[in-house]
């Protein structure tokens, strides 16, 4: 089973308009509400690709139940902890023709016993399972939440994937995550300098491996992706051709695609192809990647 954890899920209220004018009334041309959060996105794409997955984390109030309703419609299994108080946050994403603006909510308070309930769920995982930690940590939880989880599970031989930024990512490296997925900009932030060439990125990935990471998957948007494997082998893949429609969820889709490809084939190059195809399929669509879309792009990247 592939489990994902989303500590800070949200209902994304997405509106499109021709132009955003502050200080006055704006009329939308399109609007929709999507349950989101990095781990949730990963589970949706995993499910779309035919993988067995369960979404874990915390939800609260009617906004949280709407996320569950949407996951049920996708056919995704969930085992969220229902919080006693508060509401799952609402994020407002305004997409105008010339700019995008986001207003993100804070989210509910998570009590100690509610966190303990999550720990008890994780204690049931075995070496046959994969755990994906993705996204931010709410202010009501310890900032070293990922470290605490990985320390708790480190002797169970669970395959753990971490998709996070800055300190949240670098602090888990001593626990030897199976895969980390920074993009080229996030790597530049970690090392405090612009990493613009393939050699720069590979060097940075190997530096993270020296600190404990096994495989390092680097996404580069339209420039494709690089995988630096645990044995030092460097794999590359171009991005398939397409028109960018919506970049939200593309990185999450890449993680889902990579794990799918690896589970299906055990081959790292093929896993990379699945990853870049899944990320691109989401970027080229209003919605998250489907199997049909991914398979169409797979044939393109394999040829290239």
Question: What is the set of active-site residues?
Answer: 252
Please count the other Cβ atoms lying within 10 Å of the Cβ belonging to residue 152.
13
How far is CA 29 from each of CA 14, 109, 180, 285, rounded to the nearest angstrom?
11, 35, 38, 18
* Alpha carbon distance 44, 140 (integer Å): 26
By the 8 A CB rule, do 283 and 248 touch?
no
Find the helix or strand (DSSP H, E) in which 3 lies: strand 2-6
Coil vs helix vs strand at 156 = coil
Q: Which runs of E-coded beta strand occur in 231-275?
A: 234-237
Find the helix or strand (DSSP H, E) in which 77 lies: strand 77-78
- Counted residue by residue, the chain has a size of 304
* Alpha carbon distance 261, 269 (integer Å): 9
By the 8 A CB rule, do 160 and 148 touch?
no
How far is CA 226 from each of CA 47, 184, 217, 291, 293, rounded to the nearest angstrom?
25, 10, 6, 22, 21
* Alpha carbon distance 122, 117 (integer Å): 9
């Amino acid at each position: 089973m592939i489990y994902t954890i989303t500590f800070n899920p949200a209902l994304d209220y997405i509106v499109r308009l021709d132009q955003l004018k502050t200080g006055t009334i704006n009329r939308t041309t399109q609007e929709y509400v999507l349950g989101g959060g990095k781990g949730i996105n990963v589970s949706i794409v995993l499910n779309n690709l035919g993988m067995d997955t369960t979404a874990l984390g915390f939800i609260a109030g009617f906004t949280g139940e709407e996320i569950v309703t949407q996951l049920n419609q996708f056919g995704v299994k969930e085992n969220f902890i229902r919080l006693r108080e508060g509401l799952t946050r609402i994020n407002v994403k305004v997409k105008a023709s010339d700019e995008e603006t986001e207003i993100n909510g804070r989210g509910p308070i998570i009590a100690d016993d509610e966190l303990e309930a999550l720990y008890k769920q994780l204690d049931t995982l075995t070496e046959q399972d994969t755990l994906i930690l993705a996204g931010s940590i709410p202010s009501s939880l310890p900032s070293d939440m990922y470290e605490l989880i990985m320390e708790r599970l480190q002797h169970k031989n669970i395959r753990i994937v971490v998709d996070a930024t800055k300190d949240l990512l670098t602090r888990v490296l001593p626990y030897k995550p199976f895969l980390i997925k920074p993009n080229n900009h996030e790597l530049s932030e970690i090392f405090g300098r612009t990493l613009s060439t393939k050699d720069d990125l590979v060097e940075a990935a190997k530096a993270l491996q020296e600190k404990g990471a096994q495989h390092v998957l680097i996404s580069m948007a339209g420039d494709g992706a690089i995988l630096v494997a645990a044995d030092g082998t460097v794999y590359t893949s171009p991005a398939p051709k397409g028109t960018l429609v919506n970049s939200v969820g593309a990185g999450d889709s890449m993680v889902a695609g990579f794990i799918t490809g690896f589970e299906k084939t055990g081959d790292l190059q093929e896993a990379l192809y699945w990853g870049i195809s899944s990320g691109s399929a989401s970027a080229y669509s209003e919605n998250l990647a489907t199997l049909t879309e991914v398979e169409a792009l797979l044939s393109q990247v394999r040829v290239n």
